[in-house]
Structures are given as structure tokens and as C-alpha cells.
């Protein structure tokens, strides 16, 4: 049953993937949430280097799918342009594929779940509950300043789209943070501090959860 085949029906494929992931080892997932520009990507890179996690950015996986030129990619591109949230099953399928291909059993999932429906779908499909949620708390003013200063060649870094993304984050993603907070699973980080100080706080959280620091 744990064998992964290219099944014609998505649900079968997802079932196989989740069984493969859960088959013989415990999979540790940490959701990393924070508004656009809160510094999640920078800190995820530090966690990977220091604690051996595999970093999966939902946004990067979606952008890679867009670049592939698939029909799926075109649909994703149109939704992102309109500031809409991509359907859960699309993102979950990309995440599952990346988790299997990585060969690791510790994952930082960055920028997902984007809303309550994402969260419920992820837990239902993968049967994985996150170890905890790392929430980068940062003011809208600070995030806006950072996004306008960075130049990553992303066409979604203009002021109108940035504000649209903030609105989506507050309306959709904050309820996810609140849900996990009610379960005692949120670790909040003051993301307005300088990068090295933020990482000291991050390190303390991962060490307290028994994550071993890579030498």
C-alpha cells in the first residue's frame, strides 16, 4: 500500500503519498507563518542549516509549477495575479510530492496553510498534525517597507499587490494562527528585530523542542 504510483485519480495518489510518508517513521512538520516581508524565508534558511530540516515554501512550489508551463501552472498564475488563494488540493499535492522526493522526515512548511480550509485539508489528506507553528509577528508598516526595498524580480512586489496580500493574510491566515494558538501550538517571534536577534529566538524554540543543532 505504501507504494507510490502515478495514479489517474488524485485521491488515490494522495492516499499512497500520505501512507508512504507515515509508513515507517514519524514525520515532523512545523508550519511557518507570517505576513509577506516578515522574514520567514531568511529564518527558514537558518533553521535548515542549523537543525537539518527541509524547507518547503508553498509559494516557491507554486511558482515552480507556473514556470513548468503546465495547465495547472496557468491556473495558479491567474489566481495569484488576482490576489486569490490557490485551491488547497493543488498546494497539498505539490507539498506531498516535495516531501516524498526530499527523503527527509523533518519539514518547515512556509506560507501554508493560508486559511482554515487549507489547514483542515492538509490534516485530513496527510494525516499529519504540525509539531508547532512558528509565527513571525511583524507590523504592516515594517513589512511594507521591507518588500518595497527588496528587489527579487518578483512582479507581485508593487504597492497595490502588497496591500492586497496583507489584506488576504489578515483575513485568511490569522484565523489559522488563532486556531493553533487555542491548541497551545503557536510559538510567536518578534520579527521586527534585526535578523541575528530573531534567529536567536528561533534557535531557542527549536532547541527546546529537542531539535539537534547540526555541527
Dihedral of the alpha carbons of 198, 86, 73, 58, in degrees to the nearest 10: 20
113 marked among binding-site residues: yes
167 marked among binding-site residues: no
114 marked among binding-site residues: yes
150 marked among binding-site residues: yes
Longest C-alpha distance within the chain, in Å?
Answer: 50
**Grid coordinates 509565527 are at which residue?**
135
97 marked among binding-site residues: no
54 marked among binding-site residues: no
Q: Are 29 and 132 in contact (CB under 8 A)?
A: no
184 marked among binding-site residues: no
Give CA separation, 160 vs 91, 137, 165, 170, 174, in Å: 25, 22, 9, 16, 21
162 marked among binding-site residues: no
193 marked among binding-site residues: yes
42 marked among binding-site residues: yes
163 marked among binding-site residues: no
Q: Which residues sit in the known binding site?
A: 37-42, 63, 84-86, 111-114, 118, 150, 154, 165, 193
Q: Which residues sit in the known binding site for CMP?
A: 118
Q: Which residues sit in the known binding site for a ribonucleoside 5'-phosphate?
A: 63, 84-86, 111-114, 154, 165
Q: Which residues sit in the known binding site for ATP?
A: 37-42, 150, 193
Amino acid at each position: 500500500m505504501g507504494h507510490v504510483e502515478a495514479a489517474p485519480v488524485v485521491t488515490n495518489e494522495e492516499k499512497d503519498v500520505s501512507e508512504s510518508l507515515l509508513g515507517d517513521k514519524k514525520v515532523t512538520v512545523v508550519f511557518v507563518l507570517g505576513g509577506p516581508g516578515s522574514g520567514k524565508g531568511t529564518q527558514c534558511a537558518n533553521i535548515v542549516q542549523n537543525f537539518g530540516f527541509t524547507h518547503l515554501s508553498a509559494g516557491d512550489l507554486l511558482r515552480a509549477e507556473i514556470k513548468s508551463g503546465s495547465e495547472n501552472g496557468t491556473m495558479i498564475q491567474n489566481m495569484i495575479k488576482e490576489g486569490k488563494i490557490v485551491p488547497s488540493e493543488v498546494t497539498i499535492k505539490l507539498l506531498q510530492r516535495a516531501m516524498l522526493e526530499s527523503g527527509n522526515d523533518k519539514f518547515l512548511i512556509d506560507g501554508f496553510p493560508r486559511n482554515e480550509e487549507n489547514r483542515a485539508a492538509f490534516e485530513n489528506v496527510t494525516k499529519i498534525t504540525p509539531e508547532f507553528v512558528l509565527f513571525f509577528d511583524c507590523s504592516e508598516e515594517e513589512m511594507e517597507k521591507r518588500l518595497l526595498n527588496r528587489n527579487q524580480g518578483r512582479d507581485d512586489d508593487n504597492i497595490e499587490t502588497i496591500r492586497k496580500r496583507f489584506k488576504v493574510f489578515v483575513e485568511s491566515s490569522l484565523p489559522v494562527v488563532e486556531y493553533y494558538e487555542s491548541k497551545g501550538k503557536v510559538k510567536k517571534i518578534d520579527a521586527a528585530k534585526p535578523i541575528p536577534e530573531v534567529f536567536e529566538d528561533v534557535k531557542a524554540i527549536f532547541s527546546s523542542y529537542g531539535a539537534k543543532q547540526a555541527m
